[in-house]
């Protein structure tokens, strides 16, 4: 093709190479394999292809109703063809008296069948036959269409490209045994048939093969990183379970651990004893008890003479972790310190010295503070709480702090669907606490409309009369901090009108307050000096107020599912029955109604995460926005869950037997990965 059209393909569709063109996949096919006779057309006919002689044109109507009409005749009858646009051009280019293959959607006008703007193809031979393949329909832009590079032309380009290519240009890369085991079409054929299949079944086989390849290669790349770390990384060894761990476990643990907590501790324990660096993601729903797991692992580190640090996303949360952990450890000789932005310089200096000297075993703090300034004597373990708040890349920074990289445990309460976790965090090892401590009552969740607001407020009054507390949460308006603030203020005034002083006291938290102000307001609520906490979503992460039993979410229709679930997790932390009230406008979208329905039906964070993925697609799930591994051309994390799972297991299986992919069978796979410059990360194995 000429340089101008080539340029257009680059700009509009990002097609630079033959490979790009081959991977510009059709989004559907139309069946023009059959040629029907005109008499077969009936009221239920949809798209049809017929062949016949084009009789004379006629222009009917005026102005807007002006149209060009022609009759098509075959042996069985007449069909009306109609054009509203391009009338002159159509009249010039189509030749009456000749035979055409005609394709289009049948509609009825005044009882007569017609096709509006049909696709017309001149038949040179007398005999007319349909195509021997299904015709691909490609996504194309208006601009491309106007320059004569619409879907049809792209189809023609692809067809001629495919005529030049075969198994030499598109070599097989998957091992033969694998092709046989899963009944997969070979690669060159799959590229042919995904564009020009003769049957729908052939298309599906081609699609299956290429989707599988896509998922398998992405999982293989991630597995190579994992396997490399398992084999080559250096890591400190926590060889023994010692006095601190044992004493705490047998004498000071205030409750029995759940089976899931025990399992996860075992997994981590095994990982940290191997002499390779651990890099593990720990997922557990809100309230599943991740903190105690973190604490036990930190004691394990201390038993082996190593320091640990626990990093939290906010000061409030760091503070709370610090107090909890100090309380848990009150009978044990473990030196624990808190380091946040508000620690005074003199104190800070003392902590730094003690860290360098190795006197501090556990450091708790906000991630920014710990990352930037701290030197340890022998850091052995880094635990990052509520990781979805950080960029995934930030993890890596910490490795540089010590000559031997510390073990890394990333904890998150944002349930991520398994499929998504496998792709986004596929280079990490992965543990799940899939069980809540016994005796937890599910939070009773209801959806209420604005019109019954006063009843909702009455309900809060009743709970407060019982000595309980309530959260009232307002949405963050991301586009504008100012609007956000005004919205919250309006809400606050409104709440105040229902709950006047001095019978009621209200705290307020929002993003414009200083850390100190937030801290004070939060503390007043925690100390029960106030009964109501009005807040934007800054409250979302981790904070624990067991006496709060009501969570009202204002404008709940503006929140995504995961966020609603996170917010709901702020209540139901004590012994009392808790409630979550989703307050929405009277008139909301179907999508929003669906979200409210899911929230009222389940408390299961993983189920909610799956639904979230289905409703929003992977690109919008928190923390994954710029995630490369999600850019699949064909596969879908929602629809192809099972295939992804298979691909992941298979990748692990292959690397287990042949970690370098050196066997004759796997060599083509290795060569392919090596040639994909920049995409494979053998080099990232340090
Ligand atoms: P999250 O996983 O959301 O961080 P936490 O670690 O804050 O959860 O735990 C929530 C609450 O449950 C805490 O008060 C904690 O002490 C308690 N808890 C944790 N594990 C257990 C258990 N096995 N049995 C009873 N209570 C537990
Ligand atoms: Mg937590």
323 C-beta closer than 6 A to ligand 1: no
Helix (H, G, I), strand (E, B) or coil at 182: helix
Q: Average pLDDT of 280-292?
A: 89
Question: By alpha-carbon position, which residue is closest to atom 20 of ligand 1?
Answer: 289
Residue for token digits 């009202």?
Answer: 552
Angstrom distance (rounded) from CA 505 to CA 412 = 33
Whether 481 shows a pLDDT value over 50: the answer reads yes
Q: Average pLDDT of 488-502?
A: 91
Ligand 1 centroid vs 247 CA: distance in angstroms? 20
Name the band, by pLDDT with cuts 50, 70 and 90, for residue 380: very high
225 C-beta closer than 6 A to ligand 1: no
In the prediction, which pLDDT does 165 show?
A: 86
Query: Which atom of ligand 1 is the closest one to the Cα of 286?
Result: 3
Query: Which atom of ligand 1 is the closest one to the Cα of 292?
Result: 6
In the prediction, which pLDDT does 396 show?
A: 55
Contacts of the segment 488-491: beta carbons below 8 A, 24+ positions apart = 488/534, 488/536, 491/534, 491/554
- What pLDDT, in 10s, does the model give residues 41-85? 998 888 899 999 999 899 998 888 889 999 999 999 999 999 998
Longest CA pairwise span in the chain (Å): 101
In the prediction, which pLDDT does 110 show?
A: 85
Give the lowest-confidence range in 354-368, 530-544, 548-562: 530-544
Q: What angle do CA 239, 275, 243 make, to 5 degrees?
A: 15
Q: What is the mean pLDDT of the chain?
A: 87
Query: Which atom of ligand 1 is the closest one to the Cα of 573?
Result: 11
Angstrom distance (rounded) from CA 281 to CA 16 = 38
Closest Cα partner for 292 from 269, 324, 267?
Answer: 324
Name the band, by pLDDT with cuts 50, 70 and 90, for residue 390: very low
Name the band, by pLDDT with cuts 50, 70 and 90, for residue 477: low
Q: Where are the beta strands (DSSP E) in 61-98?
A: 67-74, 77-83
Angstrom distances, CA of residue 426 to CA of 111, 279, 420, 672: 60, 11, 9, 20
Instruction: Tell me the ligand closest to 295's alpha carbon.
Output: 1
541 C-beta closer than 6 A to ligand 1: no
pTM of the entire predicted model: 0.72
Angstrom distances, CA of residue 671 to CA of 166, 180, 644, 660, 667: 19, 21, 23, 11, 6
In the prediction, which pLDDT does 682 show?
A: 41
437 C-beta closer than 6 A to ligand 1: yes
Whether 267 shows a pLDDT value over 90: the answer reads yes
89 C-beta closer than 6 A to ligand 1: no
Whether 628 shows a pLDDT value over 50: the answer reads no
Which of the residue ranges 236-250, 362-376, 467-481 has the most confident prediction, judged by mean pLDDT? 236-250
- Residue 370 has phi, psi (to 5 degrees) of -65, -40
Angle formed by the axes of helices 605-616 and 561-568, nearest 10°: 160
Instruction: Tell me the ligand closest to 290's alpha carbon.
Output: 1
Q: Are 46 and 107 in contact (CB under 8 A)?
A: no
Q: Average pLDDT of 648-652?
A: 92
Ligand 1 centroid vs 286 CA: distance in angstroms? 9
| All residues at 6 or more sequence positions from 119 whose CB lies less than 8 Å from its CB, including other chains | 102, 103, 104
Residue for token digits 């139901």?
Answer: 572
In the prediction, which pLDDT does 677 show?
A: 56
289 C-beta closer than 6 A to ligand 1: yes
Whether 581 shows a pLDDT value over 80: the answer reads yes
In the prediction, which pLDDT does 684 show?
A: 41
Name the band, by pLDDT with cuts 50, 70 and 90, for residue 239: very high
Name the band, by pLDDT with cuts 50, 70 and 90, for residue 397: low
413 C-beta closer than 6 A to ligand 1: yes
Whether 542 shows a pLDDT value over 60: the answer reads no
In the prediction, which pLDDT does 458 show?
A: 96
- What pLDDT, in 10s, does the model give residues 112-140? 899 999 989 888 766 567 778 898 988 87
Angstrom distance (rounded) from CA 384 to CA 364 = 10
Closest Cα partner for 375 from 394, 396, 349, 393?
Answer: 349
Q: What are the structure tokens assigned to 681, written together?
A: 């990360």
Which of 284, 287, 565, 574 gets mutated to test ligand 1 (max ligand atoms within 8 A of its CB)?
Answer: 287
């Amino acid at each position: 093709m000429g340089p101008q059209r080539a340029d257009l393909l680059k700009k509009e569709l990002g097609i630079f190479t033959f490979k790009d063109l081959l991977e510009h996949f059709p989004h559907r096919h139309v069946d023009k394999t059959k040629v029907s006779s005109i008499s077969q057309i009936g009221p239920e006919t949809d798209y049809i292809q017929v062949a016949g002689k084009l009789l004379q044109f006629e222009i009917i109507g005026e102005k807007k109703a002006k149209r060009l009409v022609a009759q098509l005749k075959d042996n069985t009858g007449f069909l009306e063809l109609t054009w509203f646009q391009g009338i002159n051009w159509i009249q010039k280019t189509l030749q009456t008296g000749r035979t055409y293959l005609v394709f289009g959607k049948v509609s009825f006008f005044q009882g007569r069948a017609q096709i509006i703007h049909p696709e017309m193809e001149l038949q040179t031979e007398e005999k007319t036959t349909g195509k021997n393949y299904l015709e691909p329909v490609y996504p194309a832009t208006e601009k491309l269409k106007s320059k004569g590079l619409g879907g049809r032309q792209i189809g023609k380009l692809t067809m001629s490209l495919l005529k030049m290519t075969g198994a030499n240009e598109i070599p097989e890369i998957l091992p033969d045994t694998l092709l046989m085991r899963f009944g997969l079409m070979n690669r060159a054929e799959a590229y042919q048939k995904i564009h020009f299949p003769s049957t729908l079944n052939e298309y599906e086989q081609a699609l299956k093969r290429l989707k599988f390849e896509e998922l398998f290669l992405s999982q293989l790349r991630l597995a190579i990183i994992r396997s490399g770390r398992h084999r080559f990384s250096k890591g400190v060894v926590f060889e023994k379970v010692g006095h601190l761990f044992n004493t705490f476990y047998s004498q000071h643990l205030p409750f029995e651990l759940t089976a899931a907590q025990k399992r996860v501790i075992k997994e981590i324990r095994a990982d940290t004893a191997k002499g390779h660096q651990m890099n593990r993601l720990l997922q557990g729903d809100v309230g599943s008890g991740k903190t105690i797991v973190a604490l036990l692992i930190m004691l394990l580190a201390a038993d082996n003479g190593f320091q640990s640090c626990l990093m939290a996303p906010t000061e409030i949360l760091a503070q709370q972790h610090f107090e909890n952990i100090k309380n848990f450890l009150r009978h044990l000789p473990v030196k624990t310190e808190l380091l946040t932005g508000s620690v005074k310089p003199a104190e800070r200096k003392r902590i730094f010295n003690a860290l360098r000297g190795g006197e501090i075993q556990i450091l708790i703090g906000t991630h920014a503070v710990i990352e930037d300034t701290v030197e340890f004597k022998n850091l052995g373990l880094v635990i990052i709480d509520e990781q979805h708040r950080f960029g995934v890349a930030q993890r890596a920074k910490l490795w540089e702090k010590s000559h031997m990289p510390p073990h890394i445990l990333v904890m998150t309460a944002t349930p991520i669907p398994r499929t998504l976790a496998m792709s986004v965090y596929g280079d990490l090892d992965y543990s799940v606490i899939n069980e809540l401590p016994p005796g937890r009552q599910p939070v009773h969740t209801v959806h209420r409309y604005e019109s019954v607001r006063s009843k909702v407020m009455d309900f809060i009054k009743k709970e407060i009369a019982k000595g309980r507390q309530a959260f009232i949460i307002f949405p963050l308006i991301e586009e504008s901090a100012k609007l956000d603030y005004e919205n919250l203020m309006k809400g606050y005034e409104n709440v105040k009108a229902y709950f006047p002083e001095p019978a009621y006291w209200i705290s307020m938290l929002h993003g414009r307050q200083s850390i100190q102000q937030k801290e004070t307001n939060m503390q007043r609520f925690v100390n029960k000096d106030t009964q109501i906490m009005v807040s934007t979503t800054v409250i979302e992460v981790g904070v624990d107020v067991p006496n709060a039993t009501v969570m009202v979410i204002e404008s709940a229709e503006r929140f995504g599912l995961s966020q609603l679930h996170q917010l709901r997790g702020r209540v139901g932390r004590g012994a009392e029955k808790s409630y979550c009230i989703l307050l929405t406008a009277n008139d909301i979208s179907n999508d929003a109604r669906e979200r409210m329905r899911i929230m009222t039906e389940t408390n299961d964070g993983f189920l909610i995460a799956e639904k979230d993925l289905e409703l929003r697609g992977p690109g919008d799930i928190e923390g994954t926005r710029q995630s490369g591994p999600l850019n699949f051309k064909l596969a879908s994390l929602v629809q192809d869950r099972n295939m992804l799972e298979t691909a992941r297991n298979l990748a692990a299986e292959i690397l287990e037997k042949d970690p370098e992919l050196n066997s004759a069978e796997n060599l083509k796979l290795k060569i392919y990965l090596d040639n994909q410059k920049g995409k494979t990360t053998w080099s990232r194995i340090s």
